Amino acid sequence: MAYATVHPIKATLGKAIDYICNKEKTENGKWISSYNCQYQIAEHEFEFTRKEMNDRIELLAFHAIQSFQKGEVTPEQAHEIGMETMKRMLGNQYEFVIATHVDKACIHNHIIINSVNFQNGKSFSREHDRKQSPAWMEMKKYSDQITSERGLSVIHTSKGKGMSHYEWELNQSGQSWKKKLKIIIDETLKSSKSFDEFLDKMRAQNIEVKYQDYVKKSGKCLGFKMPGQKYFIYSQKFGWYYEEAQLRKRIDRILTRKSDYKAKQITNPDKRIREFFNLSDDKFDSYGMQRWGKIQNLKTGFKTIAYLNENGFENADDFFRNYDELASRKMQNSENINALESKIKFDSYRLKYLKIYRQYKPISEQYKKAVFQDKYFRKHEDELLLFQEAVEELKKTEKSKVLPNVALLADEIKSLSEQKNKLYIDNKAIDVKLREYDSIRKNLDKILEDSVFRQEREQRENHDERQRNNDIQI
């Protein structure tokens, strides 16, 4: 899987949900699921959440599509991947309906997401569809992670652009000459030392190259044609990244990176003295080199000891103890955060249906008393369906027959959120401190390791000296 797109729904939300929940497309409704809502009345639950949590949001919902390679997944796998993608992306904070369509050659998911977070009231646009990070990119990131974990394919689209569904389907059926040529161009550039060499290597792969004297701003007229292809595809059709000027720059960048890498290899700390001075092991073990190494170790040791003194550590054991305490505190914070998030999610779900219950209970009571119940039901059908759904959900979540107070439950969720945020802030501070400590810890480990080595060497030398003295006496 790799094709992903997300677009807003400004009107006709009900029709959109009806379309994706079409029984003919979902094996008689087998592959329809919902999260934090009931798909049969999702339109009304979405509306209730928007009005209750953030009535300034004009967009009704967002429609996401997630497609899979032909023949690569079963409907069950596609549905599970779609559900997991949404959970990771939305963090259990949005209502959505997911339907897996199996009526076409390529199995694909349709997901309709409410435009408002039902826990904090923030808009989907603000949290997931920003200009610098559009929703389709975030969705594709999680989709790629999950499909990779399951050993499925990942299709990479061009930077900064989504792939159209039509183009994606062409790629799956092997009909996109442009896609194949771009892959060949990218791979050939990596091994080319000049633009002329790049053109020669393209021709060596039976790619017909047209490089005419007609000059544009981006260079000469440059085109490519594969065997079996009817027409040339010119560089501007691939996008600006494949125009002559950019291809030349890309080759220069590749050569620069290669030369920089070689330079780094020469000055790599591992064996850099031997490689740079071309020294043999015997020469490297000379007194001068050993003295240089000792000086470097002493400098590192003095800096480490100075850091311990400046930061109030009595000794290395005190530092390690403090390090371990911070790491343990971070782990405990993370466990508490997970527990709080589960509690917040559960209470937010309860609060949503509790509000629905309280708001529409009077309508339900009036319905029971109505003389013409059919007429009353037709007039208040949406409200009565929501009320009935709230009753069913509260039966699952409430142990006591006495329902909690809406305001008290909202205050409890707010308090839990504040606790969670404090733990997040504490963990960020711990991460900063642990990163600072890591280099000191490595230095101390090395110092202690060298100290133990020296002690063992001195013990061996003393033992050998005693042995020689005993031999002389004998």
φ and ψ of 116, to 5 deg: -130, 135
If one counts the domains in the chain, the total is 4
Query: Which of 153, 172, 191 is a domain's end point?
Result: 172
Q: 216 with 279, same domain?
A: no
Residue that has been written with the tokens 């409430």 in this structure: 398
Instruction: Say how far apart CA 29 and CA 298 lie, in whole Å.
Output: 72
Q: 164 with 250, same domain?
A: no
Q: What single string gives the DSSP state of each residue in 114-132? A: ESB-TTT--BHHHHH--SS
Q: Is 226 part of any domain?
A: yes
Q: What is the pLDDT of residue 160?
A: 36
Q: 432 with 322, same domain?
A: yes
Q: 296 with 336, same domain?
A: no
Q: What is the pLDDT of residue 44?
A: 92
Q: 137 with 214, same domain?
A: no
Containing domain of residue 181, as a range? 177-263
Q: Is 464 part of any domain?
A: no
Q: Is 471 part of any domain?
A: no
Q: 26 with 127, same domain?
A: yes
Full-model pTM: 0.57
Domain CATH code at residue 84: 3.30.930.30
Q: 53 with 130, same domain?
A: yes
Q: What is the pLDDT of residue 75?
A: 92
Q: 448 with 408, same domain?
A: yes
Of 305, 319, 330, 325, the residue nearest 437 (C-alpha): 319
Those residues of the chain that have pLDDT short of 50 are 1, 155-170, 172-174, 264-280, 283-284, 453
Q: 347 with 240, same domain?
A: no
Q: What is the pLDDT of residue 131?
A: 78
Q: 40 with 161, same domain?
A: yes
CA 276 from centre of chain: 41
Q: 144 with 49, same domain?
A: yes
Q: 194 with 292, same domain?
A: no
Q: What is the pLDDT of residue 293?
A: 55
158-200 tens-digit pLDDT:
443 444 444 444 454 445 678 788 888 988 998 898 999 999 9
Q: Is 97 part of any domain?
A: yes
Of 403, 406, 417, the residue nearest 119 (C-alpha): 417
Instruction: Say how far apart CA 247 and CA 240 lie, in whole Å.
Output: 9
